[in-house]
Structure 1
Amino acid sequence: MSHRKDPVKLTGRTILITGGSAGIDLAFALKFLELGNEVIVTGRRRAVLDQLKAEHPTLHAIQSDVADAAQIAALATRVKADFPRLDVLMNNAGIMLSQNLGVPASDLAGLMTEMEINVGGVIRMTSALIDILIANKGTVINVSSALAFVPLPSSPIYSATKAAVHSYTQSLRFQLEDKGVEVIDLMPPGVKTELTAELPAGDGVTLITTDELLKHSFASLRAGTAEIRPGQAQQLAFMRRLAPAFINRQLWKAAKKLVPIEVK
């Protein structure tokens, strides 16, 4: 069941979006900019951020890696000094990898990369900025996924990270409800971006466009929906309750071809 609160104020705010240099991250950044907000995006690639700044001069772009605790701490110090009115944090940085769980990983440290970025980045960024968000009665928007409800077995670690973010966001909402901070869980289905380039359309998987995601998401923000489930995300949440074995098997059928082949 989606929680409902007051409509989210969408103009005149100072917004930090992690991983905001590409994909849906960038789409949200540009939409918020269009609505009259001050927007800061972060990313790991300096050249991409420089190009983005050249194309959108009013956008603030800061190089920072959400997988690096020291860089997050430095980013938080800089943001609090340069943008004291910061009142929205959108945790959106993430990567998705296909994994074959049936073979030993050659890089055990690398096996945790998705966890460090997708989960560690959300937890550390939120903690590093929680004081200014509380002071400014702000909003936290965590981007989890429809795969928090039903995993895509070819991307098992990614799916697990999104389930973790969804759970964390629920707890965060309870802990901040008396501090004047809104906590929103945005749970996109498959969106047509570089991240989902390998996902097969059909076979039970429906991909929506970035424009469709923005339209649904901003309508839900205006309606005060705290758990936003665009497109197939709502269907997966329903099917998880109604027929979990069936919907899990359907996604496995769709994803089986994406599991990396074992090299002998």
Structure 2
Amino acid sequence: MKLTGRTILITGGSAGIGLAFALKFLELGNEVIVTGRRQSALDDLKRNHPKLQTIQSDVADPAQIAALARRMKAEYPKLDVLMNNAGIMLHKNLKAPAADLDGLMTEMNVNVGGVIRTTSAFIDILAANEGTVINVSSALAFVPLPSAPVYCATKAAVHSYTQSLRFQLEGTGVEVIELMPPVVKTELSTDLANGDGFTLLTTDELVKQSFASLKKGALEVRPGQAKLLALMRRIAPDFINRQLWKASKRLLPVRAG
């Protein structure tokens, strides 16, 4: 992947992995635009990093995605990188019926629907500019963390979708990359800790390893424990599945849902 001279849109870029990548891309001299759901968080981000461009937008809302695409195409016609990063993770107890059946689909709407809809809304400008799509899935696409069953299912879906997208875009000039982080020290992983069967990666180390892979032209970027989990999924799936179940049991909510 060409890492300089790009115009880059990162969804969910006001914190965590998205912000870490935004700041690194900015450091390399790219024009970077980030989105987030909360305007207050974006305002704080803009004050701290005035060179970043910010736009309020929610990837769970198709109307907001369409509006974002119209604005980006008008204001940033050179847009050539889309990083689908926005995501949420919820721990769920599946032992009884959930009180909020609609709420069960929240992660699907954000993590899967957001990726598919946003990619579709921007595919024309990315093709015109021979750009790059970076979809953020997870090492948990290979091996699920049972306390977060829907989250892991969404990341497996993003992994599969990204592979199909890559095939369909062959010959268009659009590069399709998948970033598959392990457990990273962000707001998403506050319930997880080193020694629970996880080795948490800092965002700094994630960026360092990921950009090294991107420079080499990797299409599947597997930093930290992601490589190990992919390997264990092949050679000892029962063992690694059981280990993650043991590590995550304490994270189950008391109530179903």
**TM-score of the pair, normalised by structure 1:** 0.96
Partner of 2:193: 200
Q: Which amino acid aligns with 2:199?
A: T
**How far does the alpha carbon of each residue in 1:166-218 deviate from its partner, in whole angstroms, 9 at most, with x for none?**
00000000011110000000000000111101013213211111111000000
Partner of 2:130: 137
Partner of 2:207: 214
Task: Give the CA RMSD over aligned residues.
Answer: 0.8
- The answer to whether the aligner puts 1:35 opposite 2:28 as a matched pair is yes
**CA separation in 2, counterparts of 1:18 and 1:154?**
25
Partner of 1:175: 168
**How far does the alpha carbon of each residue in 1:48-99 deviate from its partner, in whole angstroms, 9 at most, with x for none?**
1011111211211000000000000000000000000000000000000000
Partner of 1:4: none
SS in 1 for 2:35: strand
Q: Which amino acid aligns with 2:139?
A: A
**How far does the alpha carbon of each residue in 1:1-47 deviate from its partner, in whole angstroms, 9 at most, with x for none?**
xxxxxxx1101100000000001110100110010000000000001
8 Å Cα contact 1:200-1:254 kept in structure 2? no
Partner of 1:152: 145
- The answer to whether the aligner puts 1:261 opposite 2:257 as a matched pair is no
Partner of 2:39: 46
Give unmatched runs, 5+ long, in structure 2.
none
SS in 2 for 1:208: coil
Partner of 2:222: 229
How far did residue 250 of structure 1 move? 0.4
Give unmatched runs, 5+ long, in structure 1.
1-7
**TM-score of the pair, normalised by structure 2:** 0.98
Partner of 2:6: 13
- The answer to whether the aligner puts 1:82 opposite 2:83 as a matched pair is no
SS in 1 for 2:60: coil
- The correspondence of residues 232-251 of structure 1 with structure 2, limited to 5 A, is 232-251=225-244
State which of 224, 248, 252 in structure 1 corresponds to 2:245. Answer: 252
8 Å Cα contact 1:94-1:117 kept in structure 2? yes
SS in 2 for 1:185: strand
**CA separation in 2, counterparts of 1:49 and 1:212?**
24
How far did residue 262 of structure 1 move? 3.1
Q: Which amino acid aligns with 1:133?
A: L
Q: Which amino acid aligns with 1:178?
A: G
Q: How many pairs are equivalent?
A: 256
